[in-house]
A = this chain, B = another copy of it.
Amino acid sequence: MNKIAVVGSMAFDSIETPTGKAENVVGGAATYFALSASFFAPVAMVAVVGEDFPTAELDFLKSRGIDISGIEIAKGGRTFRWSGRYHENMNLRDTLDLQLNVFADFSPKLPGSYRDSDYCFLANINPSLQLGVLDQLNKPHLVGADTMNFWIETTRPELEKLLHKVEILTINDEEAGQLSGEHNIVLAARKIISMGPKHVIIKRGEYGALHFSADSIFAVPAYPLENVVDPTGAGDTFAGGLMGSLASAGSNPPTSQHIRQAIAYGTVMASFVVEDFGFARLRKLTRDDIDHRYRQFIALTQI
């Protein structure tokens, strides 16, 4: 089966939402992505943690079949820490504290066994590092990437270089506007496609996602939930389901049908992760749970 290499952050998060709080739960974009994708295809992580990172958590990743040989444990270092508080409208949050720690000097190095990965996801880190990862891969079928406002503002030349090497860009609507200079979401997506990616997927949180390619648009709502506990990691969990589903389908390039199914699986995975703090909901999730909700999602979007 096609292997997915993912590079990104691993972290301890302290999270406050309108419904509760959780202290020092394991998070980070690479973690959410890898756990989500692991339900669909083999995953290999590239990340860095400090010596304070619990072995039990690394063992849990391994128990999901994830290759963690690319996770560096930095001697004497502390893991990246983030602390944030969500508003009543959980699309909004404030960062209360940020300690980069070992993540400040992250320089992703791929183990030899990762180099022939057919699929790669470059989670939200400095575009120079994302480019460095691509240089270490032999010839991936499909590269996906995420980015954020900070890199759009401060490292645009590197980001533009990256966009030429990426098939799929996942980005939220505000960032799409910022990257393209277009307020309208359709025009923004067209502009971004002209910058390189064949597929632009605009993430809109509780409002779902829009997919744009040169010749088509696809729109899905989010899965309506009665109980949203913690939106942290939803975007990376979405990307994990998306890339995992594509890797599992294996067509190269992906068909339009596979892309749509992959976006639906991404939506379903994101709907699970927000039901509890951190990735707690993913710990006990089964492939049956996923397929059951996928069928419900199809039913509730079918005209």
Residues of chain A having any CB pair with chain B under 8 Å:
18, 88, 183-187, 204, 206-208, 210, 216-222, 224-228, 260-261, 263-264, 298, 300-303
Asked if A226 meets B303 with Cβ closer than 8 Å, knowing A207-B208, A221-B219, the reply is: no
A210 touches B184 (CB 8 A): no
Residues on the B chain within 8 Å of A225, using CB? 184, 186
Contacts of A18 in B (CB 8 A): 183
Nearest-neighbour CB distance to chain B for A104, whole angstroms, equals: 35
Q: How far is the CB of A102 from chain B (nearest CB, A)?
A: 38
The 3 closest A-B pairs by CB, nearest first: A219-B221, A207-B207, A186-B226
Across-interface contacts of A264 in B (CB, < 8 A) = 303
Inter-chain CA distance A219–B18, complex, in Å, is 25
For A185, A210, A221, the residue with the greatest tally of chain B CB atoms inside 10 Å of its CB is A221
A-B contact pairs, 30 of them (CB 8 A): A18-B183, A184-B226, A184-B227, A184-B228, A185-B206, A185-B224, A186-B224, A186-B225, A187-B226, A204-B207, A207-B208, A208-B219, A210-B221, A216-B300, A217-B224, A218-B300, A218-B301, A219-B221, A219-B222, A219-B224, A219-B300, A219-B301, A221-B221, A260-B302, A260-B303, A261-B303, A263-B303, A298-B303, A301-B301, A301-B303
* Shortest CB distance A228–B (Å): 7
| B residues in contact with A227, CB < 8 Å | 184
Whole-angstrom distance from the CB of A259 to the nearest CB of chain B? 10
Please give the count of copies of this chain that the complex contains. Answer: 2
Closest CB in chain B relative to A282 CB, distance in Å = 22
Instruction: Identify which of A206, A261, A301 gathers the most chain B CB atoms within 10 Å of its CB.
Output: A301
Given A217-B224, A219-B301; 17 other pairs, CB 8 A cutoff: A18-B183, A184-B227, A184-B228, A185-B206, A207-B208, A208-B219, A210-B221, A217-B300, A218-B300, A219-B221, A219-B222, A219-B300, A220-B221, A221-B221, A260-B303, A263-B303, A298-B303
* CA gap between A133 and B177 in the complex, in Å: 46
With a cutoff of 8 Å between Cβ atoms, the chain B residues found around residue A219 in the complex are: 208, 221-222, 224, 300-301
Which chain B residues lie closer than 8 Å to A261 at the CB level?
A: 303
The residues of B that contact A216 with a CB separation of less than 8 Å are 300
B residues within 8 A CB of A222? 219
